[in-house]
Amino acid sequence: MDTIILSGKKELDIYMNPQRQNLLRQMQIVGEPMSAKQIADIIGISASSVQHHIRLLLELGIVEQSHTAQIHGITATYFRALPKTVQIGSLMADEHTNQRIALMQANLNGTFNRFVDYCAASSAETIKESQFGDLLSGIVHLKPDEAKELYALITRFLQAHETASKGASAWEYALLAYPVSEKTHA
């Protein structure tokens, strides 16, 4: 899997735009190539706006053109989200730190809010019969090699399941793990 590291202001500005984040998220959920019109219908903006956002995501290498097809005499271009890991450089200390923090907060808050909506819309019986979701938090004690092993295990698992497959449903996640000490934020 390729990794894209967003290091400059232009790249961060392109990636952290809320509309582009939503567009990219919807493409990943659907898991198959989509036209600008299909994406526009899902996210509720014009197809020309979607094309603008797609063009910028193409620049970053996060999206690619998949194919074209004739629909009612019009050539539709289909795009797909690429299986790439995007690193925003959260540990970089530079003039873009606040922008990176804002992006991380928006992503975590968005994922959490959608999880709360999922819980509110699901009955205990529905969750028991089909899917579930939960928040796991706590403290684990890891040696440096164990921390690397955990990160590698999670990364391999996520990479193996990021492409849509028959019978699978899309799951959204947010994982946050870091080393703490007694002196770390109380």
- CATH number of 22's domain: 1.10.10.10
Residue 144 in any domain: the answer is no
More confident residue, 85 or 56: 56
Is 58 inside a domain boundary? yes
pLDDT at 97 (0 to 100):
85
Please state, in angstroms and rounded to a whole number, the distance separating the CA atoms of residues 91 and 111: 21
Question: What does the pLDDT look like over 38-52, one tens digit per residue?
Answer: 999 999 999 999 999
Rounded distance between C-alpha atoms, residue 78 and residue 148, angstroms? 38
Q: Are 131 and 169 in contact (CB under 8 A)?
A: yes
Domain count, the chain: 1
**pLDDT tens digits along 2-15:** 788 887 889 989 99
In a domain, 91, yes or no: no
Return all residues near 65 (Cβ < 8 A) that are at least 6 apart: 58, 77, 78, 79
Whether 117 is covered by a domain: the verdict is no
Reported as a pLDDT band with limits 50, 70 and 90, residue 23 is very high
For residue 53, being part of any structural domain is answered with yes
Domain that holds residue 30: 2-85
Residue 27 lies in a domain: yes
- Residue 125 inside a domain? The answer is no
Over residues 73-120, the pLDDT tens digits come to 989 999 999 988 888 877 777 888 888 888 889 989 999 999 888 888
pLDDT at residue number 178: 86
Position 90 in a domain: no
77 three-state secondary structure? strand
